[in-house]
Amino acid sequence: MGKFDAGFAGSVALITGAASGIGLATARRLAAEGATVVIADLNEGAAKTAAQELGADSVAFDVADPDAWLETVEGIKNRHGGLHLVHLNAGITTYRAENSDAPRLGFDLSAVPLENYRRIMGANVDGVILGARACIPLIAASGGGAVIATASAAGAIAFPPDPIYTATKHAVVGFIRSMAPSLEAQGIGCHAIMPGIVDTGLLAEGMADQARTLGIPVIAPEEIAEAVVGAAQSGKTGGLWICLADRPAFRYAFNPIDGLGLPETD
Ligand code: NAI
């Protein structure tokens, strides 16, 4: 029997980047399902407001900070007695959403400020790996559960408007696929959520409307929350869940490489 077969009531869920967008939608969904939710975000004010709305706990920290991770997990253990699900969701693009520092056309790698590069690697890659590192022991000690990361469809395709973002999401997908067998042995399911374009503050101003005009479907954050719940309850592990508009999330698989000589794990 899977950890969440009977639902999420009585479980403790930590969601990063939960003050807005996909994380907030997931927090709302899990709170509605009866979970004790911990909203984590860099934006302290927005995290507190969201927590108040949901009757949730909140914590403000940078997911790129390894010490903050350890403190956060210790705090959750003390306040809530355990942890069953972590949604490693906080993430950013190379240029800020307001687009003030972004070039208008193409992607000029040499023009990317080093600070932007460090910031996105910190949020999107360190935030997932350090988060998993800090949370896994407590999830295991709490009887198992799930580690779910928000990657992106850009974790499996080329996305020329932001190659650095694409690299971070490929990193998340590789990490999740490779962690799954070790975590399964500890009763922890491990999944990557891979959405197309979602209508959140991550998008540059007007981008959602522009996408719709071009016939590109834009997904509501609530649909991604549904995918997170579905992955946690799938009874499987190592899932790469593609999320598109108006249809249930479905599993993606890479092509196997014949002749490599290594065992395929998924
Ligand atoms: P969002 O901008 O609405 O939410 C991201 C949240 O993460 C914000 O509240 C922000 O304050 C927080 N955050 C950023 N850096 C942080 C850090 N270092 N430490 C702690 N919190 C931090 O954006 P959205 O769309 O909800 O993004 C969530 C995840 O979904 C990201 O990983 C993003 O890459 C991914 N995603 C988004 C898509 C989209 O089209 N919006 C498509 C595919 C994936």
Domain regions of the chain by residue span: 12-97+109-251
Taking the CA of residue 43 as reference, the ligand 1 atom at the shortest distance is: 11
- Tokens coding 207: 């981008």
Cα–Cα nearest to 133, from 80, 170, 188: 188
pTM of the model: 0.96
Task: Tell whether the model's pLDDT for residue 102 goes beyond 70.
Answer: no
Atom 24 of ligand 1: nearest residue by CA position: 21
CA–CA gap between residue 218 and residue 235 (Å, rounded): 28
Asked if 252 is an active-site residue, the reply is no
CA–CA gap between residue 151 and residue 76 (Å, rounded): 24
SS3 4: coil
CA–CA gap between residue 149 and residue 59 (Å, rounded): 19
Task: Tell whether the model's pLDDT for residue 130 goes beyond 70.
Answer: yes
* Catalytic pick among 95, 117, 165, 252: 165
At the fourth CATH level, the homologous superfamily of domain 12-97+109-251 is NAD(P)-binding Rossmann-like Domain (3.40.50.720)
Q: pLDDT tens for residues 90-100? A: 999 998 765 55
Count Cβ atoms within 10 A of the Cβ of residue 96 and give its class: 0-12 exposed, 13-18 middle, 19 or more buried: middle
Sheet of 85-88: strand order equals: 57-60, 36-41, 12-16, 85-88, 145-150, 188-195, 239-243, 250-251
Taking the CA of residue 169 as reference, the ligand 1 atom at the shortest distance is: 34
Q: Which residues pair with residue 86 across a beta bridge?
A: 14, 147
Q: Which residues pair with residue 147 across a beta bridge?
A: 86, 190
55 band by pLDDT with thresholds 50, 70 and 90: very high
Greatest CA span in the chain, whole angstroms?
Answer: 55
Q: What residue type is assigned to position 30 of the chain?
A: L
| Listed range (27-31, 60-64, 255-259) with the worst mean pLDDT | 255-259
Q: pLDDT tens for residues 158-182? A: 999 999 999 999 999 999 999 999 9
Pairing of strands 250-251, 239-243: antiparallel
- 22 pocket-lining for ligand 1 (C-beta < 6 Å): yes
